[in-house]
Amino acid sequence: MYKRLLLTLAIVGTGVALASGCDKDFCEDYPSSEFCSPAPPPPPPSDTVRIACPDTGKTGYFPLVVGAVWNYSVFEGTSLNDSADSVTNPTGNVWDENVNMVNDSMWITSYSGGPYDGLEDTAYVFLRNDTLYMRVIKTVSIVGDPITISAEAPFAWYPLVSGDSISTDWDTLPPADYVGGDSIPDTIEYRITTLVKDTTTYTVGSEAFCAQKVQYKTTLHVINLGATIDLNSYFWWTPYVGVVKRIERNLRDTMGTKWLQKDLQSYTLP
């Protein structure tokens, strides 16, 4: 007690406030004193909540069944409301898309109505062990030569659990004038990251499904400019049913400013 009193009087008398010179017992007894450094706040509790939609095993978790068909209504907009998971500012372009599983690794999407009536796209998917891969080919332009990305990227896996993530290795495009149109070669490296986000309830007609939101992020790093560009798309997966909703860039839009929202209307699983 005598030591503590002398130390307190010395600090008050000199007007020096040095926490490092403060008696340990004094600071424990008077933690709010101006002469004692405040205790560091406790670390925030770690997020241990990991949510997944109910599953009954890996069989049929991804319904890659020949003859399966998913029918979507599609509309185009110029912006994305992230908080509402919806495309906004519609352009007036609407159409239907039918996705057909023609074999265990090929989807064919056919367009009906709208500006792409009669066109078809082909997507290749591969189930390896518990992971579904898609052969991704994207072409975008940033006021320069087209940037074409080709990769086999993890598309989904069993089981989809919030917080899980997989990234491809970085790959590099050959130098070209990709950015700015100034005839100066740019070097771009890229990778694709798949991140499982939250779960939600999605309704098709009168049927409600648990859907797992998955983000697909293509990161372009322009090395010579020190710039990074992220291109995002989102799929909502329902186990044993397929993709019930998609939000993605309209890759046929050469300006790269249009978004598409695709909502499942019906599906057939043989």
- Poorest-pLDDT segment among 32-36, 46-50, 64-68, 102-106: 32-36
Helices (H) and strands (E) in the chain, counts: 2, 13
Q: Do 10 and 26 touch, CB atoms closer than 8 A?
A: no
d(CA 263, CA 243): 9
CA quadruple 217, 222, 223, 228: dihedral sign? negative
Q: Give the pLDDT mean for 51-78.
A: 94
Read off the pLDDT of residues 123-150 as tens digits, 9 standing for 90 and up: 999 899 899 999 877 777 777 788 888 8
Q: Give the pLDDT mean for 161-181.
A: 90
More confident residue, 213 or 41: 213
pLDDT at residue 50, rounded to an integer: 84
Length of the chain: 270
Chain region(s) in the chain for CATH 2.40.360? 69-268
pLDDT confidence bin for 41, thresholds 50/70/90: low
**pLDDT over 70 at 23, yes or no:** no
**pLDDT over 80 at 43, yes or no:** no
Distances (CA, A) of 54 to 61, 68, 238: 11, 22, 10
Query: Element (H or E) spanning 138, and its range?
Result: strand 131-140
Domain 69-268 classification at class level = mainly beta
**Residues sharing a CB contact under 8 Å with residue 90, sequence separation 6 or more, in sequence order:** 75, 76, 77
**Which two three-digit tokens encode residue 196?**
């499982």
pLDDT confidence bin for 183, thresholds 50/70/90: confident
pLDDT at residue 12, rounded to an integer: 35
Q: Give the pLDDT mean for 194-204.
A: 93
pLDDT at residue 33, rounded to an integer: 53
pTM: 0.78
Residue 191 pairs in a beta bridge with 219
Read off the pLDDT of residues 234-267 as tens digits, 9 standing for 90 and up: 999 999 999 999 999 998 886 768 999 999 999 9
Q: Is 90 exposed, middle or buried (0-12, 13-18, 19+ CB in 10 A)?
A: middle
What percentage of the chain reaches a pLDDT higher than 70?
Answer: 80
pLDDT at residue 28, rounded to an integer: 56
d(CA 78, CA 88): 7
